[in-house]
Amino acid sequence: MKCPGSIPRTFSRRQLLATASNGFGWLAARGLLQGATHHEAKARRVLFLFMPGGVSHMESFDPKPKLNALDGKPAKLDNYVAGPNRKWLRCLWDFQQHGQCGAPVSTLFPHTAKHVDDLAIIRSMKSQFPLHARGNVFLHTGKNIGGFPSMGSWINYGLGSENKNLPGYVLLRDAYVPPGGIENFSNGFLPASHQATHIRDEGVPVDNITPADTNAQIQRAKLDAILAQDRTLLARANSDDAIDSAIANYEMAYRMQSLVPDVLDLGKESEATKKLYGLDAEDKAKRSYGLQCLRARRLLESGVRFVEVTCPNLYGQNGTWDQHDHLKEQHERNAHVTDQSVAALLTDLKQRGMLKDTLVLWAGEFGRTPDTGNGDGRDHHPFCFTIWMAGGGIKGGVTYGETDELGDQVARDPVDIHDLHATMLHCLGLNHERLTYRFGGREQRLTDVHGNVVKAVLA
Amino acid sequence: MWAVLSLLALGAAGYAATPVEHFENKVRPVLAKHCYACHGPDKQFSGLRVDSRQTLLQGGKRGPAISPGNPDESLLVNALHHTSLGMPPGYRLAPKEVADIEQWIKDGAVWPASPNAKTAARDPYGWYDEAARKHWAFQPLKPAAALALPAPKSGPADKRTLLRRASFVLTGLPPSVQDLAAFLDDNTPQAFAKAVDRMLASPHFGEHWARHWMDVVRYGETRGYEWNYEIVGAWRYRDYLIRAFNADVPYDQFVKEHIAGDLLAKPRVVNDVNESLTGTTFYRLGEAGHDDCIKFREISTDVIDNQIDTLSKAFQGMTVSCARCHNHKLDPIPTADYYGLYGILNSSRAVTHTLDAKAPLPAAAEQIRDRVKPAVRDELARIWRSAKLALPAKGEFKMEHPLHAWVALQSSPNFGEAWAKLAAEHARERDARAAFNKANFIPFDADWNADGLGLRDGAVAAGDFALAPEGTALLTALLPAGVHTNSLTDKWNGSLRSPLLPKTHKFASIRVMGGKLSAGRTVLDNCAIGEGYKVLTSASPSWLKLKTEANEKLPVFLEVVTKSDNPRIPDRPGVLKNKPEEIASPRSWFGYVRTVLHNVDESPREELSHMDRLFAAPVNSMAELQSRYEAIVQEATAKWAAGQATDDDVRWLDAFLQAGLLPNSADASPKLGELQTAYRKAESQLPEPRVVDGMGDAGQGFDAPVFRAGDPHSHGEITPRHFLSKIGPAWMGVQSAGSGRRELADWIASPKNPLTARVMVNRVWAHVFGTGLVRTVDNFGQEGEKPSDQALLDTLAANFMAHQWSVKRLVRKLVLSPSFQQSTPGYPLRRLSAESIRDAVLAASGRLDLTLYGPSIPPHRLNPQDYRRLFDGPLDGKGRRSLYTQITRMEGPRFLEIFDYPNPMAARGARDVTNVPAQALALLNDPFILQQAEVWAQSLVKLTPEQRIPRMFESALQRPPTADETDRFQTLAADLARLHNAPADSPVVWKDVAHALFNLKEFIYLP
């Protein structure tokens, strides 16, 4: 489904002013007043732990003992990788039950396992494409092609910003951009103020955030001269809104130069907290991911509406978890790099009383095949896979949906990407059918013409 | 309304009706009224569609909806009774209506093909005709008797403001010092007109207006998706646009070149380059997936959808893509119109055009062809005639190789017996292979489409040969009769494309030879960068077997291409193990002999008849055999020298040549040495081909089916190729044998088309005045905004057409109008585009390099990803104008994006103008800005202190400072000197002053 278009939004002077005076400002969604929601919001912000590449569902949260029995026998699945040499592959990790709910989690994720009573595990996720680029963009935007707003942009458009001095949608990433590219984090046709601000793990975290003038007095001297000069233009141009806004943006930018580094500064974090996130790990990738996770918490705390964290891509694959080979070794390392920090976020948010109104999503674009072509890895599997949610609006200790005994197809309660989006918006107090933006000849929605709220995972 | 009328008719018709009447009167209207909304052409809840017998039988997710003859077993009846599932939801049909439907199913569920059904599809909502008749944009132009441009609201702008504005609007650059001085010094009434004409004549006009158009055609240079393959020669399209706008190519011609530049009766050839061909590159500039497009059918349908979207918005201001899955909800565009255009585009081919394929043969090539090669042939033949053959005693040779017998007979105890046995085996095997081949293969002799410099002279006769561009060898191969790209040089390219394959055979085998990353492949559904090309590595002809995917309802053709014509190269990492320099080299070649179709899963067996001459008469010893070999070679050489060699002769000679048995090096004779030198010198002078991805036509076009709900697996009615059936002049039908693009081009570029001129005139207006007369520049449909002044728009459009669709004339007219020349706010204050901001920075610093044209320069990146073609470029982009920055998908040029450079995914005729802190941060802290401030400072410190501030104002703002302003910045300079603890003349001080100037709002805003 696609109905693209490109009626450019032509901003009125009034809108421009509103945008500017809100800094990373926002245009209130149609039918929404500032700060208002369609119904009571359980969550005020979102943390999206993006697991690109395709985590093996039957080796993480959806145990399939039958595969152990079939290991090495010819596999005959009717799908896009079907072929004469396919064989079933046993689960390479053992499962144990955890928490009061007794949800099984494999030994891949020992830290996350301790939090199962806070998680709603959805085993019956479905996507449409066994292709990374499409899958990623679909997960983010509800569309399989570029040009549409990411859910982070939609949510900011819907709810506006909590901290006018910070961007509303922040992406914490390393040098790697997953397939689908920047499209995944694009504001699409929504105003540019809703696009993701990228914060990198190494070097300068945000584009142009470090003052070029190391001497603050020098920058101030220049800014004062610029301001004085701009005021004369303002007078000549009869007090133009656009120039007014541009002037205001300089003051905002000036403050951001110190505020953003301040939010990212871990100096005020205790050693115990840093350790919790694995910042003392020997593995550099693990430290880097832990750093981004801790920054994520600080950003959420400071009022950023939607924080997304990607994973380090350690093996040059099409996504961190894309193990067509070396499944055992590489999934294990990926889990080692991410699991502790993910769990740390849950612990930390809970300790600070933030988990109850922070919606947490742990998800990738698809799962992996229950069979193998080379005995050493698994391929893309959009037909069923597992994600989990936690926090604001989500009922903990729930396992929803079922797959067949091979982990090949959804057997009960399918949940597609649109349903996931509808459910997330619901937790945030937004009705996915009413969160619309007129573009390209129609009212656009994150869920297009689809989506059902998965009530069973709601608190 | 229709349903109600039918129900009334039902009452009149009574019960004594035929099954067809019963259906038409009692069943179809009920289904239409109560069911179609959710299970009809627009929506298929639960996968079910109830508007045809076939879809009812297919059913939806719950299985078939009807069982003809058995109402009780029909899910539809079950649902209508609200037993297990209740339909319609929330209410029940009248019992009588349910009974009628039961009766209809019992009678076998007849569903006649109804003429009414067709009409309904053409006007599904009953208001299409009305909309077509009433919506302003679909009506013929209503020009006023005379053009009346709006009166200015403000007084005239001062001269400096005016020229700065005009310069940015016309060229995207600040006015040069000379232009400004000339204008200020000219006090005649024609001063502004003269200045405008100077700028219109400047090549930078074309650059700026090309950039505008690049937004409309979602210009990008890579294909995004996973690996970001490069679009071959995309930058050549950008250069084409620059030249076209500068040459003021009539817009109707420009439109035709875009839509069907490859099919024009008289292409526009300039400097031996076929400009018209490059227009078609616009189709190819979108995103495209590389995966297998049989497994992922959407890869090709999405590419075409993007083409339809771009084409319809760019030229017609219509959102035709909205009709992909359902009839357009706002404009009279039935789904059939979408698939009418789909058929046209699907019948066309994604190809790589060679722009100079028909240029006169360069003198160096003529020299090679007419002088060097004949001399080489004479000299080699002379030497070969007297050459002693040192036949090898060992070696692995198959039966078809001339040396097979020689090696096989080595050290046979009884030569005569062994000879006889071998001869018999030869005869037996020869006949067996011939019989197998005859039984299992049919020739596919259809005409292939050839393009490329290497194929410009068509097929060659047996015995032509290729010369080595380097190394000691003189020849690389003797060629069989066929089509060869390397007859003159292997720098020259070639593409060979077959007609569409018949669906009769599972395989095609092509007899080819090739090297240096030439390849053969099956092209499925026009997936230009689809999987599965096979690199050719054979120096002599051999069979390459390709699957034809005959079971798929897809257009399939075969393709043999040199490297430059293969859009998959450079391929993603790990696919080709070649070194980067091998990938980058222009050298690549192939030869093609013939094609056969077959169902056996193997290629034809190598025929042996060419070996008959060896076995023609008995020989009694190895010595005699040696003589036989020599005789055969000498005879073949003689025929070759006389230009009478057959393929069998060539086969023999080439086998001996490849085996190193025939002299083939420059030191074989002084003459050969001279000829080799002459060849290589001439060869080095040959130009490399200019290739560009575009659209081509080959053979018969075909109509496409409607894809139900946009699903390419669900085929509906076949739709004749056409375009907007409800809007504009009547579609003339596809008259040519090809895709229909030529007719499409004529239809869109017709003066009778109510949209084409209006849409373009409005685009020009928007660029000149900041906002279009129709503000939604890409949407003239009912969802778009109405023109603020339709008479003005129509008059401009009519004049535009009356004056040869001249864009320059139109721009001139608007810029010279009083509206343009007034001061703000009558003329709206505008922020410079991203490109102009960057260009203005370079212009002020003095770093601007105004070189025109050429390959793009990668943007500076923090995290280059070479394997995704995201290369790092210099921070200052070599000082070139912003439109020469490479536009890569997946990650665009960051600095430009901050200032609303659009994401190149869809037509974007008007950009956002946002106003966000990231822009302030970029101008304050971006390394490019700081670097340019530093560059600027270097030249500033060479001036006297008094000169500096005035010069800076002139360079950045094109005006002198006021006394206050001079004071302000002198004071700033003094403060900075103090803070830096540096002398007042020091570059660090003036870098900071320069930096401050870049941050003035006046620098990026245009009053």
| Dihedral (CA of A435, A436, A437, A440) sign | positive
Task: Copy the structure tokens of residue B687.
Answer: 């130009």
- The Cα of A97 is separated from the nearest Cα of chain B by a number of Å equal to 36
CB pairs under 8 A between A and B: 255
- Look up the domain containing B375 and give its range: 365-441+609-683
Question: Which residues of chain B fall short of a pLDDT of 70?
Answer: 1-18, 20-21, 24-25, 112-122
How much is the pLDDT for A35? 55
| Dihedral (CA of B747, B751, B754, B758) sign | positive
pLDDT tens for residues B963-1007? Answer: 999 999 999 999 999 999 999 999 999 999 999 999 999 999 998
pLDDT exceeds 60 at position A14: no
- The Cα of A372 is separated from the nearest Cα of chain B by a number of Å equal to 18
Q: How many domains does chain B have?
A: 3
Bridge partners for A120 per DSSP: A389, A398
pLDDT exceeds 80 at position A239: no
Report the C-alpha gap between B721 and B730 in whole angstroms: 13
- B966 touches A at CB < 8 Å: no
DSSP letter (8 states) at residue B360:
P
CB spacing of A80 vs B295 below 8 angstroms? yes
Give percent of chain B with pLDDT exceeding 90.
73
The answer to whether residues A404 and A126 touch, using CB atoms and an 8 Å cutoff, is no
- Report yes or no on B359 lying in a domain: no
Give the count of beta carbons closer than 10 Å to the beta carbon of residue B92.
14
Sequence-distant contacts of B22-28: CB under 8 A, at least 24 apart: B22/B100, B22/B103, B22/B104, B22/B107, B23/B104, B23/B110, B23/B111, B23/B112, B24/B112, B24/B114, B24/B116, B26/B97, B26/B100, B26/B101, B26/B104, B27/B100, B27/B101, B27/B104, B28/B114
- B967 touches A at CB < 8 Å: no
Give the count of beta carbons closer than 10 Å to the beta carbon of residue B954.
17
- The Cα of B585 is separated from the nearest Cα of chain A by a number of Å equal to 27
pLDDT exceeds 90 at position A151: yes
The answer to whether residues B161 and B823 touch, using CB atoms and an 8 Å cutoff, is yes
Q: Which of A12, A378, A324, A459 is nearest to B828 (CA)?
A: A12
CB spacing of B900 vs A222 below 8 angstroms? no
pLDDT exceeds 60 at position A320: yes
- Alpha carbons within 13 angstroms on the beta-carbon side of residue B457 total 17
How much is the pLDDT for B17? 57
CB spacing of A211 vs B781 below 8 angstroms? no
Question: Is the complex ipTM more than 0.85?
Answer: no
- Report yes or no on B917 lying in a domain: no
Q: Which of B654, B683, B712 is the last residue of a domain?
A: B683
For B497, phi then psi, to 5°, come to: -130, 135
Q: Which of B628, B662, B683 is the last residue of a domain?
A: B683
- Report yes or no on B933 lying in a domain: yes
Instruction: Read off the pLDDT band of A23 (50, 70, 90).
Output: very low
Q: Which of B73, B138, B166, B288 is nearest to B827 (CA)?
A: B166
Q: Which of B106, B126, B146 is the last residue of a domain?
A: B126
The answer to whether residues A50 and A151 touch, using CB atoms and an 8 Å cutoff, is no
- Report yes or no on B466 lying in a domain: no
- Suggest the residue from A19, A145, A176 to mutate for an interface test with chain B (most B CBs closer than 10 A): A145
- B915 touches A at CB < 8 Å: yes
- Which of A259 and B645 is assigned the larger pLDDT? B645
pLDDT tens for residues A94-126? Answer: 999 999 999 999 999 999 999 999 999 999 999
- B969 touches A at CB < 8 Å: yes
Whether the ω angle into residue B570 lies within 30 degrees of 0, i.e. cis, is yes
How much is the pLDDT for B24? 67
- Which residue matches tokens 């005409």? B447
- B302 touches A at CB < 8 Å: yes
User: Domains of chain A, with CATH numbers?
Assistant: 23-209+274-440 (3.40.720.10)
pLDDT exceeds 50 at position A8: no
Report the C-alpha gap between B845 and B876 in whole angstroms: 11
Q: What is the mean pLDDT of chain A?
A: 88
Task: Copy the structure tokens of residue B1006.
Answer: 């245009």
How much is the pLDDT for B38? 81
Report the C-alpha gap between B653 and B27 in whole angstroms: 78
How much is the pLDDT for A178? 87
- Report yes or no on B773 lying in a domain: no
The answer to whether residues B288 and B225 touch, using CB atoms and an 8 Å cutoff, is yes
Instruction: Read off the pLDDT band of A15 (50, 70, 90).
Output: very low
CB spacing of B305 vs A146 below 8 angstroms? no
Collect all residues of chain B within an 8 Å Cβ-Cβ radius of residue A9: 912
- Alpha carbons within 13 angstroms on the beta-carbon side of residue A138 total 21
pTM recorded for the entire structure: 0.81
Report the C-alpha gap between B572 and B574 in whole angstroms: 6
pLDDT exceeds 90 at position A427: yes
Instruction: Read off the pLDDT band of A20 (50, 70, 90).
Output: very low
Task: Copy the structure tokens of residue A221.
Answer: 């001297």
* CA distance to A164, A276, A417, B232, B609, per residue, from A302 (Å): 10, 20, 29, 47, 84
How much is the pLDDT for A242? 79
CB spacing of B778 vs A7 below 8 angstroms? yes
The answer to whether residues B50 and B65 touch, using CB atoms and an 8 Å cutoff, is yes
- B891 touches A at CB < 8 Å: yes
pLDDT exceeds 70 at position A7: no
- Report yes or no on B863 lying in a domain: no
CB spacing of B825 vs A242 below 8 angstroms? no
- B864 touches A at CB < 8 Å: no
Residue B846, amino acid: G
Collect all residues of chain B within an 8 Å Cβ-Cβ radius of residue A215: 979-980
CB spacing of A210 vs B920 below 8 angstroms? no
- B912 touches A at CB < 8 Å: yes
DSSP states of B341-355: HHHHHHHSEEEEEET
Give the count of beta carbons closer than 10 Å to the beta carbon of residue A412.
11
- Report yes or no on B153 lying in a domain: no
- The Cα of A347 is separated from the nearest Cα of chain B by a number of Å equal to 33
- Report yes or no on B376 lying in a domain: yes
Region of residue B933 (left: phi > 0; alpha: psi -120 to 50; beta: else): alpha
